[in-house]
Amino acid sequence: MKTLPPGALLRVTALAVGMIALLPVQLLVMRLAPARGAAIPRLFHRLTCRCLGVRRRVRGTPPPKGAAGLIVANHVSWLDISVLGAERPVCFVAKSEVAGWPMIGFLAKLQRTVFIDRSRRGATADVAAQMGERLSAGEAVVLFAEGTTGDGTRILPLRSSLLGAAHEALGKGEPGAEDDIAVYPLTISYTGFHGMAGGRFERTALAWYGDTELAPHLQAVLRAGAIDVELAWGEPIAMGRATSRKEATRRAQDAIRKARQETVSGRPLP
């Protein structure tokens, strides 16, 4: 096992103390005022980014504050959750297995994550109904539409099924069912390490994919020092009356891939 850098244990301890302090507050909020349940997770994600040395940079125009819609993003690492969660109040869609993971599953439930059981017939419809409820309530829902994490160097094909199902559920049986739903393409790119450029090797090292175990990966993140990440927002896509879910998925995929190519690789954050 490689030795962790000085201060790494202190940063992990600070994160653990912060989590322990915030947990009872979030439990109380979820019980008494669930509609306000996004504030504490955002604070926790900001603390996580600070303790792990993650520095965020935003490119493009983010969705307006409080805007509902589907944020369709690529997926590189478990870090993506805190990187995006630190920026704005959101809820995530995750595979059902995450719900059973020690501690991570508990935290995901506290953030009101929507879980999908991909092995069960009809799971997409059930999840889409939950997404529709969140969208109708004015929430932003994050969909990692690749369906898995990538290796940090390329964008995998996006899946269109949940995009279309969510739109159908949003207006099902209600007037205005043909209204558009806003789809916001988002590209997550890890661009710098130790304040220097990160190449293919460094990006792959930070990616959490395949059979990579969490504990060794967390150690790799701690050893990486300062980590620069860029969030590149594409132009919003109105999916519905004029744009089918397949066309919206294609346009979102093109926007994410284009932004990935345009990412200022090697330029550390100021």
In a domain, 182, yes or no: yes
204: domain CATH number?
3.40.1130
In a domain, 2, yes or no: no
Alpha carbons 74 and 72: distance in angstroms, whole number: 7
In a domain, 26, yes or no: yes
In a domain, 211, yes or no: yes
In a domain, 53, yes or no: yes
Instruction: Provide mean pLDDT across the span 78-98.
Output: 90
Instruction: Judge whether residue 262 has pLDDT over 90.
Output: no
Name the nearest CA neighbour of 240 among 168, 173, 185.
168
Instruction: Judge whether residue 26 has pLDDT over 60.
Output: yes
For the record, the structure tokens of 23 come out as 């947990």
In a domain, 268, yes or no: no
Rounded to two decimals, what is the model's pTM? 0.85
Query: 79-82: which pairs have CB atoms within 8 A and are 24 or more residues apart?
Result: 79/52, 79/54, 79/190, 79/206, 79/208, 79/221, 79/227, 79/229, 80/144, 80/188, 81/45, 82/44, 82/45, 82/48, 82/49, 82/52, 82/54
pLDDT, tens only, 121-175: 666 677 777 888 888 888 899 999 887 776 667 788 888 877 776 666 665 545 4
pLDDT for position 48: 94
In a domain, 1, yes or no: no
pLDDT, tens only, 27-39: 999 999 887 888 9
Q: How confident is the model at residue 7 (pLDDT cuts 50, 70, 90)?
A: confident
For the record, the structure tokens of 172 come out as 């099902």
For the record, the structure tokens of 149 come out as 């994490």
Alpha carbons 73 and 127: distance in angstroms, whole number: 18
| Residue-range definition of the domain harbouring residue 50 | 8-262
Structural domains counted in the chain: 1
196: β partners = 193
Q: Write down the mean pLDDT value for the chain.
A: 82
In a domain, 253, yes or no: yes
